Amino acid sequence: MHYIGDKFLNTMLLILFLFVSLLFLFSGGGIVSAETVEVTGHHISRESLLERGELTAEIDIENLTEDDREIWLGYSLFDPRGEWHDIEPGKIKIRANSGKTVEIAEEIFPGAEILAGEYLFVAAAWDEHPEDGGIRLSDMRKREKITAEDGDRVRERDKGEDEDLGLKFSGHEFLKAGHRLGRGWLNPENVKLENQRLKISSPADSLQGGEVRTEDYFSYGSYSVKLKSDYAPGSFSAFFLYEDVDYKNDEIDIEIYNDGSRQIDFVTFVEGEKTNHEKAELPFDPASDFHEYRIVYLPDRINFYVEDELMASFDSDLPDDEMRIMANHWWPNWLEAERKQPASEIYIKQLDFQELRER
């Protein structure tokens, strides 16, 4: 009886200890910390942008950890032409459990006119410089619309204006991207043409990627690519159509998971909002060889094919704008990824477009 009583008493004490521990844990008792630095606000001067082409902003950051931190704070602007303008990230020191406001000012459009349209402003905190493989800790986004009535320097966008060309492949002129995306940096140096094949690389231990897009815009038709992915868990190999005119873009995506799972996503966006999504499993290893992936973009339907087999089809909430042909290798925030990664490359050896002709 004493044995049973002691055992019962010990059990009750253990339950009481667990209860008190949980009560302390969820009451903010200090055992759990957010362990991050957050961007909590940013304020933009429209006057500076409109009058001088200068991006002036105040960024509020907060250190939610118990330790003093050094972080990299960056700022980017996405303009109506589909171009990113990046302010070089700077190192910021912030004390434990405290906040700080950082002021930035840099000419983005020196001596140039301002394009009318919607602008996206992004403030982001990184644990290291993004070009060195830094991981994004937090960001905050703000949209501002600028019209021709806002000032004398503002003009309407001309969709056909010239841009510098990056490379030519499969008969199309391509541009190399150079901006942040997901966990890392899309570096133009990671895109090369080798032996008539397009190579998009992610250097070791960097979480960098690369991206290309056509100079021209395309409408309804059949788009295909012969692509070989790589094993790089936490990253995507993607072939997609993207309106690329402001932040509320139409988009049609094929996204291959580079984690050996053979998973693939088929997605559409309308004005920046996801409208269709279907996940499937490929019958082969996409990193073992080149395989053909195809988007058939029609006014009333979008079909996705892999090696001529229909994998997904959507017939509602469809994009209807002209878009650029794009491909990339990148590291999205919502997939788990270790910074220590071997180098990886995806290869494209053929890209075709056949316009839909009305009968």
Active site residue 255: yes
C-alpha–C-alpha distance, residues 324 and 22, integer Å: 53
Amino acid at 317: D
Collapse the DSSP code of 71 into the 3-class scheme (helix H, G, I; strand E, B; otherwise coil) and give the result.
strand
- Bridge partners (DSSP) listed for residue 347: 199, 228
The 3-state DSSP class for residue 108 equals: coil
Q: Of the listed 62, 211, 243, 255, which one is catalytic?
A: 255
CB atoms within 10 A of CB 248: 15
* Residue 232 main-chain phi, psi, to 5 deg: -155, 80
Amino acid at 357: R
User: What are 237's two structure tokens?
Assistant: 């190999």
Rounded to whole angstroms, the Cα distance separating 70 from 92 reads: 6
How far is it, in rounded angstroms, from Cα 116 to Cα 24? Answer: 54
Q: Are the C-beta atoms of 251 and 268 separated by less than 8 Å? A: yes
Of these residues, 62, 211, 243, 251, which one is catalytic? 251
Pair of tokens at residue 95: 């004390």
CA 137/CA 256 separation, integer angstroms: 25
| Rounded-to-integer distance, Cα 352 and Cα 226, Å | 9
Phi-psi region of 27 (alpha: psi -120 to 50; beta: other; left: phi over 0): alpha
Query: How would you classify the pairing of strands 69-78 and 114-115?
Result: unpaired
Residue 189, amino acid:
E
Separation CA 326–CA 245 (nearest Å) = 14
CA dihedral 278, 284, 288, 291 (to 10 degrees): -60
Separation between Cα atoms, residue 61 and residue 218, nearest integer Å: 41
Beta-carbon count within 10 A of 291 CB: 19
Residues marked as catalytic: 251, 255
